[in-house]
Amino acid sequence: MKMMNNEEAMVELHECFNCLRFRSDLSVLNYKKALVLAIKALRKQIPMKPNNIKDILDFSGNYYTSRGNCPMCGRERVSKSDLYCDKCGQKFDWE
């Protein structure tokens, strides 16, 4: 059996959630809350490009690093050395 990637797992969890959409007993409500939490956590593991990426130069005019804003929470000045947003946990794709 092939291992699922994050996108495939999110699709499966969304389908589980949709199957339970009209159920409202307590055990199902807790299950739905857990599904929503798992979907949000998986979404943050899918790398996203930061917004407003700008190259930062040193005093000699040579490339130093790149900075941008988190696409999920808007945190400003995330640096290319940041693999994840320290505010919301979103994974970055700097390529």
Give the pLDDT confidence score for residue 82 in this predicted structure.
Answer: 96
**Domain shared by 31 and 55, yes or no:** no
**Domain shared by 56 and 93, yes or no:** yes
Element of type H or E holding 66: strand 63-69
Give the pLDDT confidence score for residue 51 in this predicted structure.
Answer: 97
**Domain shared by 23 and 40, yes or no:** yes
**Domain shared by 40 and 51, yes or no:** no
Supply 72's token pair. Answer: 């999920």
d(CA 7, CA 13): 10
Greatest extent of the chain over all pairs of C-alpha atoms, in Å: 65
**Domain shared by 26 and 60, yes or no:** no
From first CA to last CA, the distance across the chain in angstroms is 31
> Which residue segment(s) compose the domain that 79 sits in?
47-95
The length of the chain in residues reads: 95
**Domain shared by 13 and 54, yes or no:** no
Q: What is the mean pLDDT of residues 57-81?
A: 96
Does the pTM surpass 0.85? The reply is: no
